[in-house]
Chain A
Amino acid sequence: MEVAMDPLFLAWSYFRRRKLQQCSDICTKILQDNPYDQAAWSLKTRALTEMVYIDEVEVDQEGIAEMMLDESFIAQVARPGTSLRLPGTSQGGGPSPAVRPMTQSGRPITGFVRPSTQSGRPGTMEQAIKTPRTASTARPVTSASGRFTRLGTASMLTNPDGPFINLSRLNLAKYSQKPNLSRTLFEYIFHHENDVKNVSVALYLQQKELVNITLQDFDCCNKNVLFHQALDLAAQATEHAQFRDWWWKVQLGKCYYRLGLYREAEKQFQSALNHQEVVDTYLYLAKVYQRLDQPVTALNLFKQGLDHFPGEVTLLTGIARIHEEMNNISSATEYYKDVLKQDNTHVEAIACIGSSHFYTDQPEIALRFYRRLLQMGVYNCQLYNNLGLCCFYAQQYDMTLSSFERALALVANDEEQADVWYNIGHVAVGIGELTLAYQCFKLALAFNNDHAEAYNNLAVLELRKGRIEQSKAYLQTAASLCPHMYEPHFNLSILCETIGDLQSSYTAAQKSEDAFPEHVDTQQLLKQLRQHFAVL
């Protein structure tokens, strides 16, 4: 006779082995037989949450709405070193655009990309619409909450009977009284349904519930206390109850953050920290400060956190990230090195140090870092592309092309493929094979029509062939795609100057100067042009 395993136990086992779909299916069956089985209900809620769970610390995507309608800044022009908005305001240590390329949103590229580093902070509406692309869609993020809602609705679509929990029919007050169900329910609503409003209501009720409990306790003890005194004490009891559970405060803060109420979120996180020191709370609070564009406060907070949790990797990484975003790459690298002292397999730290070595003319050392990543089992297109570049510039020519071949084999989307071909084009330029280079840049454009760098390089090659009009057209395209890059402006300026169009040359040179004020050649060109005009 076959002995069947207890279905709930089996479901629990599936959950632990992260076979979430199976777990959820079994729970559904149990719930069909007995709709009031709280254990199965709770387990299914957790399984569904885990399916779409993303680390809330990492998720920080600013949509256009958040960026353009931001009212939290104090000054239009921040003092140097106090803002994340102006990448150029760092004092020293920043990479020059002459050696380090920029992302589409005009920040120097780093070794690692997170959801929050993708969008950047564009200055104008036009740029905002153009640049911040989500991971794979060509459409910009309209608002941060939009994406979460979309993911949530998509997960519901898979269920033909409608959503698992019908939130509008749920009596949140009832659930908030059950601490064993309320937390899983909260996480379900927050991560799976992404319904922040309902969650906040739940939280509110939860806190009210705590107040009620204390009031009852209070009533039992002091039945004879006068009403107005009770009221006074109730206010204190409220405070007391709220200080009781730090977890709910952190959740409340998360909800406020999602709703864009940053000051309220800050209050919640701070009082949660007063109650109990948790690393996560520090990270959430720092996220709030970064959103409020107060990097210095965030840095102080991280340091405060490090006093309580010495050597904590996530806090150190947070500091390094802020330095990096403020364009202070050298101190970011210092902190990443500290991270590696604690955790020598930290992918982000290794990648960032590697890229900073590469762009400070030490490709051999960068190669060692990227090789380390390869040894650790990172196996993707980006890594092989970086290895290929490092090998080429470290003069290990035997490995270069095979690395690029692997990178091309591992490509996941067209943008990546365009970048790899663009880099192969560089190798071709380096060995003087200009026909191959030309083809590579053309291929990069075939895969990604917005690749401004490829347009610029193609223009340089076209000019070598003597096709002035074609070259000019490419340069103009590159300049309009990426106005923050100085190369297309500068090249256009030289081109116009050689064909005698001094006025266009001067305007282009001025744009180049705006993009890269320290560029000596631009300065000389401008000086020369001014002399010309003076003579006229």
Chain B
Amino acid sequence: MGEFSKVFVLLTPTGQLSMEDVPTMVLCKPKLLPLKSVTLEKLEKMQIEAQETVKKQELALKEHYYQQIAPE
């Protein structure tokens, strides 16, 4: 108990209590992901399919080209 009596009491029973407001860094907020509409999903699907078709055709074209020049 003797130790505790040494503690200096900062709070006064009267008067105002003031606190220093230190600005802190802020985090960006959590992000709910928006659901996609049916149209958007279909558009995306069609776009991916279209890209794949184009890729396939380009590959086929390349193969065709190499086959042509291979015999030489």
Q: Measuring CB to CB, which residues of chain A are less than 8 angstroms from any residue of chain B?
A: 52, 54-55, 58-59, 99-101, 109-115, 117-118, 134-137, 147, 150-151, 154-155, 157-158, 347-348, 351, 354-355, 358-359, 373, 378, 380-383, 385-386, 389, 393, 416, 419-420, 422-423, 426, 429, 452-453, 456-457, 459-460, 463, 485, 487, 490-491, 494-495, 521, 524-525
- Is the beta-carbon distance between A55 and B39 smaller than 8 angstroms? yes
B59 located at the interface, meaning its Cβ lies under 8 Å from any Cβ of chain A in the complex: no
Given A348-B37, A351-B34, verify A101-B28 contact (CB < 8 Å): yes
When distances are taken between beta carbons in the complex, the residues of chain B under 8 Å from A354 are 32
Inter-chain contacts of A460 with B (CB < 8 A): 25-27
Tell me whether A426 and B30 are in contact in the complex, defined as CB-CB below 8 angstroms, given that A54-B42, A135-B43, A524-B23 are known contacts.
yes
Are A494 and B32 within 8 A (Cβ)?
no
Please, which residue of chain B has its CB at the minimum distance from the CB of A348? B37
Interface residues of B (CB under 8 A from A): 21, 23-40, 42-44, 46-51, 53-54, 57
Contact of A154 among B27, B34, B35, B54 (CB under 8 A): B54
Give 6 nearest A-B pairs by CB, closest first: A154-B50, A453-B28, A58-B39, A382-B33, A135-B44, A113-B34
Given A135-B40, A154-B51, A419-B33, 5 more pairs with CB closer than 8 A: A101-B29, A114-B37, A420-B33, A456-B28, A491-B25
Q: Is the CB of A114 within 8 A of B39?
A: yes
Kindly list chain B residues whose C-beta atoms are within 8 Å of the C-beta of A420.
33
Cβ contacts under 8 Å, B29 to chain A? 99-101, 453
Q: Cβ of B28 and Cβ of A109 under 8 Å apart?
A: no
B57:A157 contact, CB within 8 angstroms: yes
A336 to B34, CA, bound (A): 16
With both chains docked as a complex, state the minimum distance between the C-beta of B68 and any C-beta of chain A, in angstroms: 18
Q: Which residues of A contact B39 (CB under 8 A)?
A: 54-55, 58-59, 114-115
Q: Does the CB pair B27–A381 fall under 8 Å?
A: no
Shortest Cβ distance from residue B19 to the other chain A in the assembled complex, whole angstroms? 14
Q: How far is the CA of A358 from the CA of B53 in the complex (A)?
A: 41
What is the minimal beta-carbon distance from A258 to any residue of chain B, in angstroms? 16
Question: Which of B25, B30, B35 makes the CB contact (< 8 A) with A423?
Answer: B30
Chain B neighbourhood of A521, CB < 8 A: 23, 26
Identify the closest chain B residue to A412 (Cβ): B44
Bound Cα distance from A457 to B51, whole angstroms: 35
> Is B40's CB under 8 angstroms from A355's CB?
no
Q: 5 A-B Cβ contacts within 8 A?
A: A58-B37, A99-B29, A113-B34, A355-B34, A457-B27
Contact of A382 with B31 at beta-carbon distance under 8 Å, contacts A155-B50, A491-B25, A521-B23 already known: no
Contact of A382 with B54 in the complex, beta carbons under 8 Å? no
B51 to A: closest C-beta gap in Å: 8
**Closest Cβ of chain B: how far from A515's Cβ, in Å?**
12
CB distance from B32 to the nearest CB of A (A): 5
Query: Which of B24, B30, B34, B51 has a CB less than 8 Å from the CB of A382?
Result: B34
Bound together, the chains give a CA A452 to CA B27 distance in angstroms of 11
Q: In the complex, which residue of chain A has the Cβ closest to the Cβ of B50? A: A154
CA A101 to CA B24, docked complex, whole Å: 19
Taking CB atoms, residues of chain A closer than 8 Å to B23 are 494, 521, 524-525
Chain B residues positioned under 8 Å from A112 (CB to CB): 34-37
Q: List chain A residues, Cβ under 8 A from B57.
A: 157
| CB of B36, distance to nearest CB on chain A (Å) | 6
B40 near A114 with CB under 8 A, answer yes
Whether B40 lies near A389 (C-beta < 8 A) is no
A347 near B35 with CB under 8 A, answer: yes
Residue of B nearest to A521 (CB): B23
B35 touches A113 (CB 8 A): yes
Residues on B with C-beta less than 8 A from A99 are: 29
Whether A487 pairs with B43 at a CB distance below 8 angstroms is no
Tell me, in angstroms, the Cα distance from A109 to B57 when the chains sit together. Answer: 39
Q: Verify A416–B33 contact, CB threshold 8 A.
A: yes
CB atoms of A487 and B40 under 8 A apart: no
B34's closest neighbor in chain A, by CB? A113
- Least CB distance from B29 to A in Å reads 5
With A154-B54, A490-B26 as contacts: A136 and B48 at CB distance below 8 Å: yes
A101, A137, A359: which contacts B47 (Cβ < 8 A)? Answer: A137
A69 → chain B closest CB, angstroms: 24
Query: Separation in Å of the A2 CB from the closest CB of chain B?
Result: 36
List B contacts of A135 (CB < 8 A). Answer: 40, 43-44, 47
